[in-house]
Amino acid sequence: MNSYYRSLRSIIVAVGILTVLASIRVCSAPAAAAGERPPQVSTIDRGARIDDVSIETYGIINRAVAMRYLSVHAGDLLEQRALERDYTNLVTLAGLRTRLEIRRHPESGSVSLHWIVMGKWFETTDHPFYGDQPLTIPIEGFGWVFTSHPLDERGATVSSYSQVALRAQLARIVYTKPLWVDSQSGREGDLIVNTFGARGVFRASEPVTEDVYSWATGNEVNYLVHGTDGTQVEFGFRNTRSTSAKPTYITAPSVDDTFYRPARSSTFEAGASHRCPAPPTQWYPPHCYLQYRVEAFDSIGGLGATTESRTLFADAAQYDRVGASTLALHVALNRTGGVLATSGLLCAYTFGYAKATCGTDANLLQAEFRIADARPGPLKFILFTETAASRVRGGDQPFAPSSFAWRADSGVGVLYHGFRFNLAYGNQGGRITYEVLGQLF
């Protein structure tokens, strides 16, 4: 009963925090309302000569940076497709609130384009760093981003990223420099340098059930190429130091317990992904059909590294329309080789279990039927079923087996104004969870 009240209290506190964050987003909505749809060219203006292209800026953006994302210039002819391309570049690549004024000159039959853009210095994130930050494993919770004014005409910025969950936290200081922008194809190449710190948790079950916290710090450099169609390709290198507050008591040749000595790794990274270029409220056809992510990490020896390991993440979600509803299928497979630090154990989270299933390898299968989610309205219902499993390579303990141990649950979810609440039942009984819309696939 006490555990029930503790859970209920934590839910109330978290909902209060999320409500405050939601109010921040709602208060900023009117200023952005004008830039929520691409500009439309009237029939009479199509094919007109463009005399001038001007930009009016607000917030953390300047004219020289915004101009890099425009493919239509003075002297070109006005076409709907070209304006939609530039609008998408400004919104998706540059991350700007955008609207366009088309000014006609009746005496000459020509037009002038006047773009109005705004760059926000503060944003809340409605999902983890799935598409925001490359090569980062998503964690639950909510987050926010503070971004500086552009430091040069290429648009280099310094940002602080934070992600907060009940147990796990992540903070980053990031320097981002757009190296090139191809406004015709809608692609951009960025250099990203960042330093980070994080706290993770492993829910131990033996010899007693308790949270085993771990901490990681490090530095990272990435080269990221991303497009307006949601595709990303990235390459990078990171150096990480991690340690744990308590031992996990897992004994296996594939695991190095970071309680007894800090673990250091020097890791090369490469990955490719595709995310839905629409907000989470539109993760259904025709706005979204497929999201996927494949990432490989190779922790080499040298540069102070204490272990060598290899990790592969494969994650895909498919969305299919069933009338006004959506059937979503999600599969995630995580595999490692070599010796893995316990602070880097891989986990698969499910609704019905307070403890994630963690090990050197993990699987996750989920299916959701989102009832009438394509119809307008603040209240939506979801039916879901899922299962997850983990194993420890070479493990021979009951709580760290070498074969996959599966755990399944099913339940009902409710979406309301960007928040999701779930009631799931597994073999450990019922459990209530909550999150910001977009946390899942």
Task: Give the separation between CA 332 and CA 318, rounded to whole angstroms.
Answer: 12
Phi, psi of 15 (to 5 degrees): -65, -40
CA nearest neighbour of 340 among 288, 389, 297: 297
**pLDDT, average across residues 347-354:** 82
CA nearest neighbour of 57 among 150, 125, 159: 150
Q: For the whole model, what pTM was predicted?
A: 0.79
234-273 pLDDT per residue, tens? 999 999 888 888 888 888 999 888 888 888 889 999 999 8
In CATH, the number for domain 37-118 is 3.10.20.310
Q: How many CB atoms lie within 10 A of CB 308?
A: 16
Higher per-residue confidence, 31 vs 281: 281
The answer to whether domain 121-436 has CATH 2.40.160.50 is yes
**pLDDT, average across residues 217-239:** 92
Q: How many CB atoms lie within 10 A of CB 416?
A: 12
CA-to-CA dists, residue 197 to 112, 127, 214, 237, 239, angstroms = 48, 19, 11, 16, 12
Q: How many CB atoms lie within 10 A of CB 297?
A: 21
> Could you tell me how many residues make up the chain?
441
Phi, psi of 343 (to 5 degrees): -70, -10
149-197 pLDDT per residue, tens? 999 988 999 998 887 766 667 888 999 999 999 999 999 999 999 998 8
Residue 362 is predicted with a pLDDT of 92
CB 159 within 8 A of CB 148: yes
376: pLDDT strictly greater than 80? yes
Where are the CATH 2.40.160.50 domain residues in the chain?
121-436
27: pLDDT strictly greater than 50? no
| DSSP conformation class of 126 | S
Where are the CATH 3.10.20.310 domain residues in the chain?
37-118
Residue 32 is predicted with a pLDDT of 35
